[in-house]
Amino acid sequence: MAPRSDEQTLLLHKNNENEVPEVKPTSCSSDFVFKMLLLVLILTAASLSIAMLWNNSRSETYNLGKEMSATGSYKLVERQEGEAFWDAYSFYDGEDSLGSAGYNVYVSKKRAEELGIISTVPVEDSQASMLKMESTVNPHNTSAPRLSIRLEGKRRYNRGLFILHVKHMPTGCGVWPAFWLTDETVWPDHGEIDVLEGINTQATAKTALHTRESCSMYAHVPDYAKTGVWDRATGIPNTWTGEPDFETSKEADDCWASAAHQWYNQGCVATSSENNTSLGEPVNEANGGVYALEWDPANGCIKSWVFSTAGTEIPPNLQESMETASLKGDERTIPDTDSWGLPYAYFAIGPETGCSADHFQKMHLVFNLAFCGTVAGNRFAKDCPDLAQQYDQDGDSWATCDAYLKDNAMSLDEAYWLIHGVYVYQRGIE
């Protein structure tokens, strides 16, 4: 709705006083002049709007080109540690999206503090602290959707090196945590990158990209560029019969959310070669780990690594980068991803690939903790077969997951984040 002018406000005020404003007749000529002036104003406004859109379009294209020329050394642009961590995010307040449909409701920062589901935890024998995020039951109805958190970064990115140092991540049946990049306002046009996504009790790390059409990794990623493998798509229902097809198995290397012969929104998914040691409970038992994503359009790739004592040790350069991030510029260790070894995930983007770099832009970081829903719910029967048999809802895996949560609302002891910090670097433009 457009704001009222002073004349409109005065007219409304007079009408409220039961005064009828005097309307004087006008001549045909004055009426014609008025209409012409109005037409000129409309055309002028339209021209200005088109010019602004054009300039914005040119600006976005130019900025993307500038991102493509960022080939210098990395510089720290965001350090999220201690109480400053919370300042980097806005708290989404409301129900989960239809696309996720988790059995949870996200709450504001104020409400999260009142419920005690976010806190800053001191590190023993240290001046450092960690960030804890969890969920709780609805105090008025314990079988209602859980009250949880979704943090959305305030800063937008077109490139960067994103490092998450986590001591504990949520895990367990019905649990669905994630650390990711997205621009949800125009999803999937500006892309989505899932850096860490836990599903029920799964223990193998994956990195997934979700995009608009025309973003495929097929024949553009050599095996020698990574240590991991592509996830696979199988069991897709037959178009004519609706029966699941388990005889056909395809690599999930097409990032388009609606790619043929893949599950809807499966995306292109790279899986860590460290099976059952790179996610969830094994990493928690090993005192945590580090998840790193390099989004580097200038060098034509997106890469990801996972390090923990349960699998590959944290490289010295990466460890020093995190430890010195709080120091002044010259005293910091600059991340050198070439010294970290091969990534487990490698995605080719940019010229001469199957995916232009502009599939990924203007994204911000997101932390969330969801339950059941379209992913953890639909996989509940497969990942947690004993519980699925106990709480079976006529073979409906998603409904069975919800039933389990309703009956075990107080027993999700491992469903919490405990984070040392998040560090974001960007290459200098040369």
Asked whether the beta carbons of 383 and 202 are under 8 A apart, the reply is: yes
CA distance 210 to 377: 20
Rounded distance, CA 43 to CA 49, Å? 10
Partners of 150 in the beta sheet?
A: 368
Quick one: DSSP state of residue 223?
Answer: G
**Could you tell me if 171 and 198 are in contact, meaning their C-beta atoms sit under 8 angstroms apart?**
yes
Contact, 253 vs 236, CB < 8 A?
no
Q: Is-contact 261 236, C-beta < 8 A?
A: yes
pLDDT at residue 112 is higher than 50: yes
- The more confidently predicted of residues 297 and 123 is 297
pLDDT digits (tens, 9 = 90+) for 363-397: 999 999 999 999 999 999 999 999 999 999 999 99
Within 13 Å, how many C-alpha atoms sit on residue 165's CB side?
A: 21
377 closest CA partner among 39, 68, 103, 48: 103
CA distances from 147 to 169, 175, 179, 410 (A): 17, 13, 18, 12
Query: 7 pLDDT band (50/70/90 cuts)?
Result: very low
For residues 216-235, one letter each, b for 16 or more C-beta atoms within 10 angstroms of the residue's C-beta and e for the rest, the string is: bbeebbeeeebbbebbbbee
* 75-99 residue pLDDT tens: 999 999 999 999 999 999 999 999 9
pLDDT recorded at residue 23: 39
Alpha-helical (H) ranges within 69-206 are 84-87, 109-115
Would you place residue 165 in the very low, low, confident or very high pLDDT band (cuts 50, 70, 90)?
A: very high
Tell me what pLDDT residue 242 has: 85
Which helix H or strand E contains 299, and what residues bound it?
A: none
pTM exceeds 0.75, yes or no? yes
User: Between the CA of residue 318 and those of 59, 69, 288, 298, 328, what are the distances in Å?
Assistant: 35, 24, 15, 21, 17
Q: CA-CA distance, 356 to 65, in Å (whole number)?
A: 12
Sign of CA dihedral 367, 373, 374, 377: positive
Task: Identify the bridge partners of residue 251 per DSSP, sorted by sequence position.
Answer: 232
Burial class (CB in 10 A: 0-12, 13-18, 19+), 118: buried
Please state the separation of Cα 185 from the chain's center in Å. Answer: 12
CA distance 269 to 252: 6
Helices (H), 324-384: 380-383
Q: 20 pLDDT band (50/70/90 cuts)?
A: very low
Identify whether the C-beta of residue 144 lies closer than 8 Å to the C-beta of residue 136. Answer: no
Give the pLDDT confidence of 173-183 residue by residue, as tens digits. 999 999 999 99
Query: Confidence band (pLDDT; 50, 70, 90) for 38?
Result: low
pLDDT of residue 95: 96
Mean pLDDT over residues 184-202, rounded? 97
- The predicted structure's pLDDT at residue 61: 40
Retrieve residue 14's tokens. 């007079």
Strands (DSSP E) along 123-189, which ranges? 129-133, 146-148, 150-153, 160-168, 175-182
Q: Average the pLDDT over 16-43 and give the result.
A: 45
Reported as half-sphere exposure (CB side, CA atoms, 13 A), residue 162 has a value of 24
Are the C-beta atoms of 427 and 297 separated by less than 8 Å? no
Q: Which residue reads 């070439």 in tokens?
A: 338
Q: How many of the other CB atoms lie within 10 Å of CB of 404?
A: 25
Number of residues assigned to the chain = 430
Residues 6+ apart with CB under 8 A from 276: 203, 204, 282
Q: What is the mean pLDDT of the chain?
A: 87
Residue type, 322: M
Whether 131 shows a pLDDT value over 60: the answer reads: yes
pLDDT value at 417 more than 60: yes
pLDDT of residue 63: 63
